[in-house]
Amino acid sequence: MTARVAPPPITAARVREIDAAQADPIDLRDIVLEGGPVVVRGLVRDWPLVAAGRQGAQAAADYLLSFYNGRPGVGYTAPAEVGGRYFYDDSLTRLNFEAQRVALDAYLGRMLAHLGNPDAPSFYVGSTDLDQYFPGLAAAGNDLPLDGPAFGSLLRSIWIGNRTIASAHYDMSNNIACVAVGRRRFTLFPPDQIANLYPGPLEPTPGGQVVSLVDFRAPDLDRFPAFAQACDSASIADLEAGDAVIYPALWWHHVETLSDFNMMINLWWHPSPTFLDSPMDTVLHGMLSLRDRPAAEKTAWAALFDYYVFGPAERPVSHLPEEARGPLATLDVRSARQLRAKLLQRINR
């Protein structure tokens, strides 16, 4: 088998754990509301996909592909020398891997054919919508009971690969990541660690989200000195097949696989209504409107944002009669449309 060994973790701190066998039933909603990451050992140990994985990589792939509808997906292939780290070339303007539209069964075949080969390229099928590519898989007992409005906009995805590293990044939804096959390490950081993680360019990005420039395998503290502080806030979740880690939206996570063949199914959700825009658009517009103004003005705007946006939603309206509140009141489908029309008109100049 492969001679490659996993690099040491950047911290000894571990994510809080509970054992699914000891805490029956698990209230996933309660865990999520706690607001920090939690590992649930054995949360999905009874999944048929996990059982198939115990028979080996081929059995797991066979079981998965029995649900495949043939739709072409995307395979991300990186040369062996990048060591599975899907990232940039030295220019930070180009990526160090290739994305190709592939038949997923053939691509998994290539992946399996290289099992045990230490010089194999990295193969990765990332963030692939379970219901659109493997319909029926979730319903066949490979799912979690996440019903109700707390789990709105639920998206199930599958991630398949050999030795791969997804550099630290955040997503905009809450996450339950369930390891089905192989071992996986999550290194997690709270959202306030952004500066200590040295985020890369807004685009291109290796997987749709801005990633940390720090190579966790050998952190360069001359270039990235504050990463030492990030390490002080980090915690690690080492997951075996059948385990899951739950963490909130916007937590930074660095994910590396520790086995030759790996599958993960994750569930993303957020409870907000779909008419709310991506706050990342607000950040981009903030660059257009705020960032390059004088410091004193920016401070004044920060107070304004605290009052209208970040503070309690009732504060700007509690002293106003209802008919005078306009977009200051909590938005609904109708008032969101009106606000959008106003913005579209104002921004087009």
Partner 1 sequence: MNRVLLNNVDHAELRVAIRAGAEFGDQVNQLPIFPSEFEEAQRAFPIVFRPEGDGLQAYVLLGLDRDENLFLDGARWTSSYVPAFQRRGPFSIALSRMRPDQLEPDEPMVHVDLDDPRVGAADGLPVFREHGGNAPLLDHVTDVLRTIYEGLETAPAIYAAWREAGLLQSITLQIALDDGLTYDLPDLFTVDRQALADLSGERLERLHRLGLLEGAMLAAASLGNVQRLIERKSLNRAAS
Give the position of tokens 């087009």: 348
CA distance 249 to 5: 31
CA distance 202 to 142: 35
For 249, phi then psi, to 5°, come to -55, 145
Q: Restricting to residues 63-82, name those near partner 1 by CB under 8 A.
A: 74
How big is the CA angle at 235 (ends 154 and 49), to the nearest 5 degrees?
45
Closer residue to partner 1 (CB): 159 or 247: 159
Which listed residue (6, 18, 95, 194) binds partner 1 by CB under 8 A? 95
* Residue 341, SS3 per DSSP: helix
Neighbouring CB atoms inside 10 A of 67's CB total: 17
Closer residue to partner 1 (CB): 7 or 207: 207
204 binds partner 1 (CB under 8 A): yes
Size of the site for partner 1 (CB under 8 A): 11
Q: Residues 234, 10: contact at Cβ < 8 Å?
A: yes
Which listed residue (51, 99, 103, 328) binds partner 1 by CB under 8 A? 99
Question: Sheet holding 184-189: strands in order across?
Answer: 85-86, 165-169, 252-257, 184-189, 235-239
Closer residue to partner 1 (CB): 151 or 159: 159
Which listed residue (55, 69, 100, 289) binds partner 1 by CB under 8 A? 100
Tokens standing for residue 184: 């996986």
Q: Restricting to residues 227-266, name those near partner 1 by CB under 8 A.
A: none
* Residue 340, SS3 per DSSP: helix
Closer residue to partner 1 (CB): 100 or 117: 100
Tell me the closest approach of the beta carbon of residue 322 to partner 1, in angstroms. Answer: 34
Query: Which region, judged by CB under 8 A, interacts with partner 1, from 60-68, 95-103, 228-236, 318-326?
Result: 95-103
Which listed residue (25, 101, 222, 274) binds partner 1 by CB under 8 A? 101
Tell me the closest approach of the beta carbon of residue 316 to partner 1, in angstroms. Answer: 29
Tell me the closest approach of the beta carbon of residue 267 to partner 1, in angstroms. Answer: 23
Q: Residues 309, 327: contact at Cβ < 8 Å?
A: no
291 binds partner 1 (CB under 8 A): no
CA distance 196 to 230: 5
Residues near partner 1 (CB under 8 A) are 74, 94-95, 99-101, 203-204, 347-349
